[in-house]
Chains A and B, each alone.
Chain A
C-alpha cells in the first residue's frame, strides 16, 4: 500500500467504524454512527449518501467514491441526442453533497471488495474500512454477446450511448454528420435492461430531428423482444401519428453481431446496414458487484433483501439501482434507484443503531418519456413490501400510463428532472 494523504483519513474512518460497531451493538436504538462507503454517484448512490447524512444529522460518516468529476443524467440525455438539450443541461456538480451535506468525495474507482475484513481497495492505491458498504454501480455490458464489438476501437464506432457522457455527445455528432437520406438503427437487447422505455424514446427523438432537419432519413428499431417492452400503446400511437414513413419498428430482431467496417447489424436470419448504428448490448450488474462475491440471479443481477437492499449472501453490503434483480414489474430506472437509496439509508441507520430495518417499506416509480421535443408520456407504479413473498409487490389498482401524449407532461418531465437531481445532489 502506497503512503498517501488519504491514508490518515482511512485510518480515522476505520477507527470511527470500530467504535461505531461497538456502540451500535450496545445501543439498541441509540443514535446511528459509523462509516458508510458508497460506490457510484448515480441516482442510487448520490441519494443514499445525502440521505444518510441528512437523516443521521451528520452522525454517520459517508464517503462516496465516483469515477466521474460530475453527475451526468441518463434521463433527459435522449433530448441531447435529439438536439434540443445540451450536456450542460444534464450535468450536475457534486459540490452540494460535499459542501452542504459533508459527504467525503473521492474521484476514483473501487477495484476490489473484501467483505470479510470490510474493506475496499481503490484503483489509485490504498484501502478503506467500512461498517456498511453500498454498491450502486449501474450496469456493465456483456460485450461477448456481440463479438464484433468486443474491442475498444469497435466500441468507439458503434456506440451504445446507454451511459450518459462522452457517448451521448458522440452519438449526437454521428447523427449530425449523417447525410440526409441515411438510416439510423437502434438495437434493443432482451429485457430486463436499463430504462425500458428509453430506446423507444430515443427512436422518437431522432425521428423528430430527422423530420425537421433531414426529412429523407429513416429510423429503424431492431428490438430483440417480441413486442414493445414499455408504454406500448402510447409509443405505437406516436409512431403512427407523428412518424409514419420515418420510423419503422421490427420486433424479434436480436442483434447477434456487428460488422463494424460496414455498419451492419447481424441478426439471426438477416443483416441490416445502417449509416448510424446504435447498439445497446445486453448488460448485467456493474462489474464491481459481479466481482465481489455477491450472489447473482441469472448470472446477471444481485440478489437482495427488500427490507434493507442488503445482499442475500454477503452481510454488510447493500446494492441499489439497475444492478439488482428487480422486483415484479419494477423497472430499472433512475427514479427507482433514488427510491432504493432512501430505503437503504433508512435501513442502514436502523442497523447502525442496533434496530431492525423498517418492516413495511414502500417504493414508487415514475418514468417520463418524450415522444417529440415537447410532448411526453409516463408510466407509474407503487410497490409495497409483502411479508409473504418477502418482495416489494406492485400495489393493485395503483399506477398506470398517460391517457395520451401531451405537452403538460413534457413540462412535468423536466420538472421531475430538476427536483430529482436536487433530491440527490443539492
Chain B
C-alpha cells in the first residue's frame, strides 16, 4: 500500500468511526428542537405566524439559516438561535425537513 492510499484508508476509518458514534436518528432529534415554534416535523399551525419548514428545499432552508447566522437576514430571534447550531447540525436539520412531504 503506497502512502496516499494508506492515508485515504485511515481517513475512511476515521469517518466510519465518527459515523458509528453518532445516533442514527440525530437529524430527527435535532429537527425536533425546532418544532416548538415551527410545528411537529416542520408542519406549523396555519395562521399562527410561524414559517412551516416541512417539504422546503434543503438548499433554501440552509441559505435562510446561513443568513440568520451572519446577520444578513433581519430577525427578532432566529439570529440568536441559529448560532447555537453547528453548520453540520443545520445541514442535518434542513435535510430532515426537506424530506417531510
Question: Chain A interface (Cβ within 8 Å of chain B)?
Answer: 50-51, 54-55, 335, 338-339, 342-343, 346, 350, 357-364, 366, 378, 380-384, 395, 397-400, 402-403, 406, 408-409, 411-412, 414-416, 418-420, 422-423, 426
Contact = CB atoms under 8 A, between A and B. Distances in A.
B76 A395 contact: no
13 contacts: A51-B32, A55-B25, A342-B35, A343-B29, A358-B23, A358-B29, A359-B21, A359-B23, A366-B36, A380-B81, A397-B83, A399-B81, A412-B50
Contact of A419 (B32, B33, B38, B76): B38
A51 B47 CA distance: 24
Interface size class, chain B:
20 to 34
B99 interface: no
B27 to A, nearest CB: 11
Given A415-B50, A422-B39, A363 B33 contact: yes
Nearest to B81: A380
Contacts of A357: 23
Interface string B24-65: 011011101101111110001100111000000000000000
B31 to A, nearest CB: 10
Contact of B84 (A338, A382, A414, A420): A382
B40 A54 contact: yes
A360 B25 contact: no
A366 B35 CA distance: 12
Given A366-B37, A384-B84, A415 B23 contact: no
Given A55-B25, A398-B85, 12 more contacts: A342-B32, A359-B22, A364-B84, A380-B80, A395-B83, A398-B82, A402-B77, A409-B76, A412-B37, A412-B49, A418-B48, A423-B39
Contacts of B21: 359
B36 A398 contact: no
B76 A412 contact: yes
Given A338-B36, A359-B22, A362-B85, A415 B77 contact: no
Given A406-B76, A419-B45, A364 B35 contact: no
Contact of A400 (B44, B80, B85): B80
A378 B76 contact: yes
Nearest to B22: A360
B83 to A, nearest CB: 4
A27 to B, nearest CB: 14
A378 B80 CA distance: 11
Given A360-B22, A409-B76, A339 B33 contact: yes
B70 interface: no
Contact of A423 (B35, B84, B85): B35
Contacts, number: 117
A408 B50 CA distance: 12
A415 B30 contact: no
Nearest to B84: A382
B29 A361 contact: yes
Contacts of A366: 36-37, 77, 81
The list of the 7 closest CB pairs from A to B, nearest first, reads A382-B84, A398-B84, A415-B49, A358-B23, A418-B48, A415-B48, A398-B83
Contacts of A360: 22-23, 26
B25 A346 contact: yes
B50 A419 contact: yes
B8 to A, nearest CB: 27
B29 A402 contact: no
B37 A362 contact: no
B89 interface: yes
A360 B32 CA distance: 14
A55 B21 CA distance: 21
A414 B48 contact: yes
B76 A411 contact: no
A209 B97 CA distance: 42
B37 A381 contact: no
A140 to B, nearest CB: 26
A416 B36 contact: yes
A342 B40 CA distance: 11
